[in-house]
Structure 1
Amino acid sequence: MTSPTYRPFRDQVRSGQEFIQHRYTELTRSSQHIRNYCATVIPGHLQTAEYARARMVESRWQYHDDPTATPEDVAELFHDDIEAGVTQRLARGQLIHEEGRTFDFLIAESALRFVTSIRALRAARLQ
């Protein structure tokens, strides 16, 4: 039996990145201490706009209904939602500078080397 508040990630992605990111921002606002371990991606609080955008395009592409669509097609089709999600994610990242909150991040080296759909982004991360 699933919780009435549980929604598969596929369904959340279809609701839009802005919705997902807003929920995570509100969770961060209501928290005083956040611990985050990531083995394959950079934590959302620490992402650049370019990295966040690439992750959101990949997510939309992975759960898109048209198997012939490319990441570029998805980026164009969902441009406004992805940009709104990037704005929300970057706003969440600013919360790490607020007084009264503690953040602990443990990031595996593999997260720095994880291949995204944008090759130039990978090179920028490794610099």
Structure 2
Amino acid sequence: MSTDFQSGREALGVRLRELRAGTGLLGKDFADLLGWQRSKVSRLENGKQTATPADLEAWALAAGAPGEAADLQSRLRGLESQQRSWRRQLSSGHRGVQDRYVAEYRRTSTVRGYEATVVPGLFQTPAYARHLLIHNAELMNSPRDTDAAVNARMKRQEVLYEVGKTFRVLIWEGALHALVCPTEVMAGQLDRLVSLIGLSAVSLGVVPFGAQLKLTPKHGFWIFDEERVIVETISTEFQLESADDVALYGRVWDRLEEGAVYGPQAHRLIARARGALDLA
């Protein structure tokens, strides 16, 4: 759980305690009024449990302050859409971010992902990853810890071979042609993608340029265990945890997947991109 998320949950708990204290009731009596287990009130007030919208509505009514429900709901939505500034995350380099992703993937069983502009980190070769990390460090003016960051990103890929993991990944065809590195490095990267087709834990689909789509290609995103979504923008990383947001991104993935090709057809698209490289 992110520090930002936990801090926000604790702040929400403080506000809940203030509302309960305004009734003059002890925690156990407030729980009885709500018909809850007494430990639930303590967990919510101390930031040990995340409230549901229904919990907050009931709390405001029991506290005799129904008008506070909207504020409590707003605070909850703030928890569910966590923002992490890249400038802050990269203040000491890329290694810490890569290590966090290693932990994220290890605690996840099923991942659905989509990338429109870049080969996903899970599938990158060390050389391709190196160029991306250098470009990003230059853009963000962050410390250059490229070797450590590349090693951590490669360590993330160990999950591809763990029993019980499933990775369903879509790539927009344009990402196969985006030259963010020398052509020989891109050739090796495309060969790496081909080698992943047929891997038991991986379902790799390519959304072709000419596919009939129900929406535009959109930005990249990753859905973890159908519980949370991570979206990266140029300046910020968002972690979305509300059921509505997860369901929305799930529907976007489903619509993109309708236009994707797999197996030999995906292989042909990757081979076409490789053949277009000027390796002379």
User: Shorter-normalised TM-score: what interval?
Assistant: 0.7 to 0.9
Structure with bigger strand share is 2
The aligned counterpart of 1:4 is 4
1:47 is matched with which residue: 108, 124, 135? 124
Single out whichever of 6-15 and 87-96 deviates more from structure 2.
6-15
Which structure has the larger Rg over C-alpha atoms?
2
Alignment of 1:1-127 (within 5 A): 4-5=4-5, 6-64=83-141, 78=144, 81-124=145-188, 125=190, 126-127=273-274
Secondary structure, aligned partner of 1:4: helix
Give the letter for the 1:4 counterpart. Answer: D
1:119 Cα deviation from its structure 2 partner: 4.7
Count of residues paired in the alignment? 112
Instruction: State the 1:94 CA deviation.
Output: 1.7
Structure 1 consecutive aligned stretches of length 4 or more whose deviation exceeds 4 Å: none
Residues 113, 23 of structure 1: alpha-carbon distance in 2 compared, 3 angstrom cutoff: same
| One-letter amino acid of the structure 2 residue matched with residue 46 of structure 1 | F
User: Equivalent pairs: percent with the same residue?
Assistant: 32
What is the root-mean-square deviation in Å for CA atoms of aligned residues? 2.1
DSSP-derived class of the 1:107 partner: strand
Deviation of 1:117 after TM superposition, in Å, equals 4.8
Q: Shift of residue 34 of structure 1?
A: 0.7
5+ residue gaps, structure 1: 66-76
TM-score (norm 2): 0.37
Higher relative contact order (CA 8 A, sep 6+): 1
Alpha-carbon separation, structure 2, partners of 1:55 and 1:28: 20
CA distance in 1, matches of 2:89, 2:106: 20
TM-score by length of 1: 0.78
